[in-house]
Amino acid sequence: MSSSLLSVAQPSTITSDATDSPRAGNSLIDGDNELLIAIMGPTGSGKSSFINLVSGSDGAVGHTLKSCTREVEPTDVFELGGHRVRLIDTPGFDDSRVSDADILQKIADFMDVSYRSGRKLNGLLYFHRIIDNRVGGVSYMNMQMFQKLCGDGALKNVFLCTTMWDLVPPEVGEERERELKEDFWASMIEQGASVVRHDGSAGAARNVVSRMLHLNPVTLRIQEELVDEQKTLMETLAGARISEVLRNLESKYRELLKRASDDYQKAIEEKNRVMEALIEKQRKEYQAKLDKANKDNETLLRVRDTTITSLASRLESLETRGRAYWWLFFNSPRSPPSALAGQATASSSAAPSVSAPRGSTAQLSTASKPVEKRAARPDQWNCAIM
């Protein structure tokens, strides 16, 4: 990469003395707008921990497999530097128990509904662990999906954030960061993406977000594709990429399974018990991976032909998840679609178990305070379509 490119996006280690300068259009006083910032990246890259640090919420941090984020999860609104901010946590494309196709659909659904309801994202943060010594399968897949979802036009609102600097010697981290900038992130940096380091502290986390508060909202490529161009999910760049990856994976594991089955047969004939057990174990692993690829492909087939033309029909198609997007309609340029609002009743149905804004029950610092909760909640609407 050229030195001029490097100079465009020198990483900045965010320290707690950085400040933001609120702009009139986005401030609490003028317009009372909420700023939306989405957080993406592989599972385990520190997204939920970061979100908890900034917002004071207590969403699931993945110390165990079970506690990983599997839904698009907005925080409650909180205040930062005079702005009302909501962060959106997203699952990574690498969950062993949820198909990548399902994850794409969940993220695409959220982006679709938010865009149709007139709410654009102000920024996107992409997380990457600096401890990863190579950008292999999972990291690469997540980066590719992120780029396809964003499109080039949104990259000026993207911050590429490295985490877990406390776990590597500084010189090792710096070398990996250089590789990321010169290779994997080079095209995003050229289009305006910024590179930042998060040192794990609450002050640093808040200052990363502070740097995004003045950005003008952007439309993501996937939002244009789904809403403006009325493409099906599989016709989008992200959908096409995932479908290509899954097709390749399916044929790869089918081939590996066939070879393992031949070797297994040979081991039985040769009465080689040790080899037989080893190959059987391998065969089961390949079978599980093939099953997952098949399941992903089934999900893709299910969503392949669905083109959604209106917000009401999008919400209808979302079943339980749609109910969790109620908050998008508050302070939004659009009202809830009549399909929802017309059925509002005083009787309360169960709040959605997923995607409802996280409670902000944790101790909060003065720099990050929760804003008052809204009185009306559409989870109290008895919506037949949900």
Q: Which residues bind ligand GDP (CB under 6 A)?
A: 43-49, 61-63, 68-69, 163-164, 166-167, 200
> Which bin fits 131, alpha (ψ -120 to 50), beta or left (φ > 0)?
alpha
243 binds, among Mg ion, ligand GDP, none (CB under 5 to 8 A by kind): none
Question: Residue 65 Cβ, how far from ligand GDP at the closest point, in Å?
Answer: 10
Tokens at 316, concatenated? 């209808």
Which of 69, 139, 142, 210 touches Mg ion (CB under 5 A)? 69
Residues 208, 252: Cα–Cα separation, whole Å: 41
Nearer residue to ligand GDP within complex by CB, 46 or 239: 46
Question: Residue 62 Cβ, how far from ligand GDP at the closest point, in Å?
Answer: 3
Supply the DSSP symbol for 201.
-
Nearer residue to Mg ion within complex by CB, 48 or 114: 48
- Nearest one of 128, 123, 125 to 94, comparing CA atoms: 128
Is residue 55 at the binding interface for Mg ion, with CB under 5 A as the rule? no
Beta strands (DSSP E) in the chain are 12-13, 34-40, 73-74, 78-80, 83-89, 123-129, 158-163, 194-197, 369-370
Span interacting with Mg ion, options 66-74, 196-204, 273-281, 336-344, rule CB under 5 A: 66-74
Nearer residue to ligand GDP within complex by CB, 297 or 360: 360
Question: Residue 68 Cβ, how far from Mg ion at the closest point, in Å?
Answer: 6
Is residue 48 at the binding interface for Mg ion, with CB under 5 A as the rule? yes
Nearer residue to ligand GDP within complex by CB, 96 or 345: 96
Question: Residue 25 Cβ, how far from ligand GDP at the closest point, in Å?
Answer: 31
Question: Residue 352 Cβ, how far from ligand GDP at the closest point, in Å?
Answer: 20
Residues 141, 168: Cα–Cα separation, whole Å: 23
Nearer residue to ligand GDP within complex by CB, 167 or 301: 167
200 binds, among ligand GDP, Mg ion, none (CB under 5 to 8 A by kind): ligand GDP
Nearer residue to Mg ion within complex by CB, 68 or 150: 68
Nearer residue to ligand GDP within complex by CB, 22 or 44: 44
Q: How many residues bind Mg ion (CB under 5 A)?
A: 3
Count of CB atoms situated within 10 Å of the CB of 170: 9
Tokens at 244, concatenated? 């290509």
- Nearest one of 122, 116, 120, 193 to 162, comparing CA atoms: 193
- Nearest one of 48, 367, 331, 71 to 213, comparing CA atoms: 367
At which residue do the structure tokens 């702005």 appear? Answer: 83
Beta strands (DSSP E) in 108-262 are 123-129, 158-163, 194-197
Is residue 45 at the binding interface for Mg ion, with CB under 5 A as the rule? no
Name the residues that contact Mg ion, by CB under 5 A. 47-48, 69
